[in-house]
Structure formats: C-alpha cells, structure tokens
Amino acid sequence: MKITYNGRIDEDGRLKIWKRGELVKELSGLRNMDVTLTIEEYKKPRSSKQNRYYHGVVLPMVKLGLMDRTGEIVSLEEVKTFLSYKFITREVADPDSGEVYKIARGTSDLSTKEFNKFTEDIQHWASYYLGIEIPDPGEQLTLEV
C-alpha cells in the first residue's frame, strides 16, 4: 500500500499538506503496521506534449542522423537507450571495490524542467556531431527540395 499527498514547506519550515482532510481520513483507517515516511521534492512529470515531441521528432531525427553518420541501421529503442545513457546517467559506487558504475535514468523519471534540459542537450549534440538541426517544439520546418 502506498499513500501519496503533496504539500509545501513554507519559509518558516512548516509543512502544509494539500487535501489534508483526505489524508487524515485515509490514515484514520490504518492500524497496527510499521510505516516509512518519505519527504521528497515534488517534480512535475513531463507533459504529453513533451512526450509526443520526443517520440515524434527527436528520436526519429537522431535515428536518421546516426544512420547517415555511421552507415548502420539503428532502431528507435536503441536511439532512446543511447540518448539516456549519454545525457541522463547517475553514478553508483561499489562500496567494496570503489568502482563507479554509470546507470542510465529513464526519461519517464524526469520532471518537465529536466526533460526540457535533456532535449536541449540532445539538440546541441545533434547539431555539432550529427550536423542536424532538431526543431524546437512547435517550430515549423521548411524543407528544401
């Protein structure tokens, strides 16, 4: 069971829970259990517009750019994995050996701000290394034939 409510810690350090009445009602039915209370900063998840832009514009354009550059056929899933590993990794240290592992984060874990930075990083990289210009969301492209 998991109960999640959002709130805010004000400038005086006081915790304000939004929909507090609902939380109190939900908690009132619980009895005789150990629990863990976790406080973490709220991150607004990426929007469906961001998701459509990433899957409909960014991934296909990078896929074509990589194929032009390398001559290899790559799938959209491979491109997605490559971009996550290149731009949104976290490091995990092995306490015994001291070795540090790079772990790719999933894009679904990113907030809207983090996702915007991720796509901007891809745009800059693709421009420099692949020679392609990925348009900003909502930007129209003119194709020269």
Q: Residue 143's pLDDT band (boundaries 50, 70, 90)? A: low
Tell me the C-alpha distance between 49 and 28, whole Å.
39
pLDDT of residue 119: 96
Tell me the C-alpha distance between 126 and 67, whole Å.
12
Q: How large is the average pLDDT for residues 24-32?
A: 85
- Burial of residue 7 (CB within 10 Å: 0-12, 13-18, 19+) is middle
Query: Model confidence over 107-142: pLDDT tens digits?
Result: 888 888 899 999 999 999 999 999 999 999 877 655
Q: How large is the average pLDDT for residues 1-29?
A: 85
Query: Model confidence over 74-90: pLDDT tens digits?
Result: 999 999 999 999 999 98
Q: How many CB atoms lie within 10 A of CB 57?
A: 17
Q: How large is the average pLDDT for residues 80-108?
A: 91
pLDDT of residue 140: 64
Q: What is the mean pLDDT of the chain?
A: 88
Amino acid at 108: S
